[in-house]
Amino acid sequence: MYNNKYFMKIALKEAELAFKEDEVPIGAVVVCNNTVIAKAHNQTELLTDVTAHAEILAITAAQEYLQNKILDKCTLYVTLEPCLMCAGALYWSRIGKVIFGAFDKKRGYSQFTEKALHPKTELETGVLEQEALTLLQDFFKNKRK
């Protein structure tokens, strides 16, 4: 029942909320012991804050929930590969695992360095990749109209 697709679907629901709010549709959830402890979506437009990415908001909420800045027992599920800024925040939180849907071939951290995440952080990619890509493509297709 609880598997990577299950939690990524929750992240996709967050991304859909962002889409409806005219934000770039990226969603993130932080899971500890098969429990979602934080979820977020991009809010850069709403908050007029370039750092209000889904990952940053989810990390902050998870740290508040746990009352700890270290998230080494947690997994972040995010619909799109984190940017360099978000990867840096994940590094400093020492997140246990990062699972993302689609690669970001323009702004993803792997375009700049493979060493952005903490050395102990596990990584898995491609979970519900097509669903994440479709949502992003639809969003930008609507923006171009």
Q: Which residues are annotated as catalytic?
A: 55
Distances (CA, A) of 103 to 67, 108, 130, 145: 31, 7, 11, 25
**Residue 20 CA, distance from chain mean position:** 17
Residues forming beta bridges with residue 100, ordered by sequence position: 78, 125
**C-alpha to C-alpha distance for 65 and 84, rounded to whole angstroms:** 25
Query: What is the strand order of the sheet 74-80 is part of?
Result: 35-41, 27-32, 74-80, 97-102, 122-125
Contacts of 92 (CB under 8 A, 6+ apart): 69
Other Cβ atoms within 10 Å of 110 Cβ, number: 18
